[in-house]
C-alpha cells in the first residue's frame, strides 16, 4: 500500500507547477490518493485519469517481415515499396480517412537524408495519402523508429495535431554504414570524439571486456533469441503484426524475376545451437568474442504506428491497443555505446511514475549479445520478461525500423497476456554513445480498472 501511495505522490508532484501547495490542496490530494486505492491492487493506484487526462494512445502498429539484407526476400525491394504497405495498412485496417493525419514521421538511418525523405513522400502517395498530408524523416540511428513514435506523441500532446503516424524503414541491402568523408583533425584531441568513429562491433568487444561478458554468455543469448523467435513464428504470434508485402525477387545468376508475397521473417535459425556458434571466428578482433552468430543481423524492413488523442480514438470507435507513457534518450560513453539501455530504461520508467518492478515485459534491441547480456544483468531483469519472442539476433535489425517493429511486437504480446501484463518497455543502444527507452501501457487496462472501482 505504501508503495502505491508513493507512486501516486510522484505522479501528483509532476503535475504541480509549484511544489508549494496550500493545505486545502494537499488535503484534496490526500483524499484523491485514498480514493484511488482499491481491491484491484497496487497497480490500480497508478493515477492515470487525473495525471494524464486526454492522453496519447496507439490504435494500430504493423510491420513488414524482416528479411536478410542482400540475400533475403526484400533484397530487390526499394525503400518506398517497403514503406508503403505498412502506411497503407494502418489506414485501411482502421478505416481512418488518410486526410485526417496531421503528420507522418519516418525513422531512417543509412540513406542520404534528402533522398530518403523524397522516397518516404513517394511511399505516402503509393499508400493513398493525399498531398495535404506532410511527411518528414528523423535519424537517431538505431532508435530512429522509436524516436519517430516519441516525436509524434509529443506533437499530439503539444496540440499541433490530433492524429499522427510514426514509421521506420531501412534497406540495408542498398545502404550501408559509411565512414566520415573528411575527418576533422580536432577529433584527435578529443578521445570521446574519436570513439564516436569506432565500428559498432569494436564497441561490442569493449562492453564484453570492460564488464566481463563471456563468449559463452553471448552465444547462449543468441541461441535463446533464435529459439524464442522460432517458437513465436511456429505458433503464429507474429501474424497479427506482419503486413504481407507483394514484391519481386531477382535470381542473381539468371536475372529471372519472380513475384512473391513476403510475410515471414527469414533470418530465424530454429536449429541454432552452442556447438555451431562456438565454431564461428570473432568478427572484429582476433581475440574477441563478438561473432556473426551473436550479433544482430543486417536486414531490410519497415513498420508503422498510428497514434492519436484518446478522445479522438473513442470518438472514432477505434480499439486502444497501447498508451504512450514516457520516453527518454540519454548519453553514455561512446566506447561502450551498447550500455545505453541500462542508462535509459531507469530514466523512462521513473518519468512514467513507475519502478522497474512494475514493468511486465521488455523489448531490448539485441544489437550485440554482449550489450544485451550486460543490460539485463545490470538492471537485474528477469530473463523471462525480456524479448520473450526473440530479438534482433534472430529477427534482424533494420536500423530505422526497429523501434516501430518493437512497438508492434510488444503491444501484441501484452494483448495476448491480458490483465497480468500492464506495462512494457522498449529500449535500444545508439551509435556514438546513447540509449533510448519508452514506456507503454496496455491499452485496455484502464477499462479493466474502471470496472474494479469508480473512475474519476
Residues labelled catalytic: 142, 397, 429
C-alpha to C-alpha distance for 67 and 428, rounded to whole angstroms: 20
* Nearest alpha carbon to residue 407 among 342, 300, 325: 325
Grid coordinates belonging to 377 = 544483468
Q: ∠ CA(16), CA(22), CA(23), 5° rounding?
A: 120
Rounded distance, CA 287 to CA 281, Å?
9
Cα separations in angstroms, 248 against 88, 180, 401: 19, 34, 21
What one-character-per-residue DSSP string does 308-377 give? Answer: EEHHHHHHHT----EEEEEEEEEE--GGGGGGHHHHHHHHHHHHTT--GGG--EEEE--SBHHHHHHHHH
Q: Look-up: residue for cell 497496487?
A: 42
Under 8 Å between Cβ of 381 and 355: no
Residues in contact with 268: Cβ distance below 8 Å, sequence separation at least 6, in sequence order:
226, 229, 230, 233, 390, 394, 395
Phi then psi dihedrals of residue 227, to 5 deg: -60, -45
Query: To 10 degrees, what angle do helices 340-351 and 369-379 make?
Result: 40
The dihedral sign for the CA sequence 268, 274, 277, 282: positive
Specify whether the CB–CB gap between 86 and 64 falls below 8 A. Answer: yes
From CA 449, how far away is CA 118, in angstroms rounded?
Answer: 45
- The CA-based angle 295-297-298, given to 5 degrees, is 130
How far, rounded to the nearest angstrom, does the alpha carbon of residue 69 sit from its chain's CA centroid?
A: 20
Amino acid at each position: 500500500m505504501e508503495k502505491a501511495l508513493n507512486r501516486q505522490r510522484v505522479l501528483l508532484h509532476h503535475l504541480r507547477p509549484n511544489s508549494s501547495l496550500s493545505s486545502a490542496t494537499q488535503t484534496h490530494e490526500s483524499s484523491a490518493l485514498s480514493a484511488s486505492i482499491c481491491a484491484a491492487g497496487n497497480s490500480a493506484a497508478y493515477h492515470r485519469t487525473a495525471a494524464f487526462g486526454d492522453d496519447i494512445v496507439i490504435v494500430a502498429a504493423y510491420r513488414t517481415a524482416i528479411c536478410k539484407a542482400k540475400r533475403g526476400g526484400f533484397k530487390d525491394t526499394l525503400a518506398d515499396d517497403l514503406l508503403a504497405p505498412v502506411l497503407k495498412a494502418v489506414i485501411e485496417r482502421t478505416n481512418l480517412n488518410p486526410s485526417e493525419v496531421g503528420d507522418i514521421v519516418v525513422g531512417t538511418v543509412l540513406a542520404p537524408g534528402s533522398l530518403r525523405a523524397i522516397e518516404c513522400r513517394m511511399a505516402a502517395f503509393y499508400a493513398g495519402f493525399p498531398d495535404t498530408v506532410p511527411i518528414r524523416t528523423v535519424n537517431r540511428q538505431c532508435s530512429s523508429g522509436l524516436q519517430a513514435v516519441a516525436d509524434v506523441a509529443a506533437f499530439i500532446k503539444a496540440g499541433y495535431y490530433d492524429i499522427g503516424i510514426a514509421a521506420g524503414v531501412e534497406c540495408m541491402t542498398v545502404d550501408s554504414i559509411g565512414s566520415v568523408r573528411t575527418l576533422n583533425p580536432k577529433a584527435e584531441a578529443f578521445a570521446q570524439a574519436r570513439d564516436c568513429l569506432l565500428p559498432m562491433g569494436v564497441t561490442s568487444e569493449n562492453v564484453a571486456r570492460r564488464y566481463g561478458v563471456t563468449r559463452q554468455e553471448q552465444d547462449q543469448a543468441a541461441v535463446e533469441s533464435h529459439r524464442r523467435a522460432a517458437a513465436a513464428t511456429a505458433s503464429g504470434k507474429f501474424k497479427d503484426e506482419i503486413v504481407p508485402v507483394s514484391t519481386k525477387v531477382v535470381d542473381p545468376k539468371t536475372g529471372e524475376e519472380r513475384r512473391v508475397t513476403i510475410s515471414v521473417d527469414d533470418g530465424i535459425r530454429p536449429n541454432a545451437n552452442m556447438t555451431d556458434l562456438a565454431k564461428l571466428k570473432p568478427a572484429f578482433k582476433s581475440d574477441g568474442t563478438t561473432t556473426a552468430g551473436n550479433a544482430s543481423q543486417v536486414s531490410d524492413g519497415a513498420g508503422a504506428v498510428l497514434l492519436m488523442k484518446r478522445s479522438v480514438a473513442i470518438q472514432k470507435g477505434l480499439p486502444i491497443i497501447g498508451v504512450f507513457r514516457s520516453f527518454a534518450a540519454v548519453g553514455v560513453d561512446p566506447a561502450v555505446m551498447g550500455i545505453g539501455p541500462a542508462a535509459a530504461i531507469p530514466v523512462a520508467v521513473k518519468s512514467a511514475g513507475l519502478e522497474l518492478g512494475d514493468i511486465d515485459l521488455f523489448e531490448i534491441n539485441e544489437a550485440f549479445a554482449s550489450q544485451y547480456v550486460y543490460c539485463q544483468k545490470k538492471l537485474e531483469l528477469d530473463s523471462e520478461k525480456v524479448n520473450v519472442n526473440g530479438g534482433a539476433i534472430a529477427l534482424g535489425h533494420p536500423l530505422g525500423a526497429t523501434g516501430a517493429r518493437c512497438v508492434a511486437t510488444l503491444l501484441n504480446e501484452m494483448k495476448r497476456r491480458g490483465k497480468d501484463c500492464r506495462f512494457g518497455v522498449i529500449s535500444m543502444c545508439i551509435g556514438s554513445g546513447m540509449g533510448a527507452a519508452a514506456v507503454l501501457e496496455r491499452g485496455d487496462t484502464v477499462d479493466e480498472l474502471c470496472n474494479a472501482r469508480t473512475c474519476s
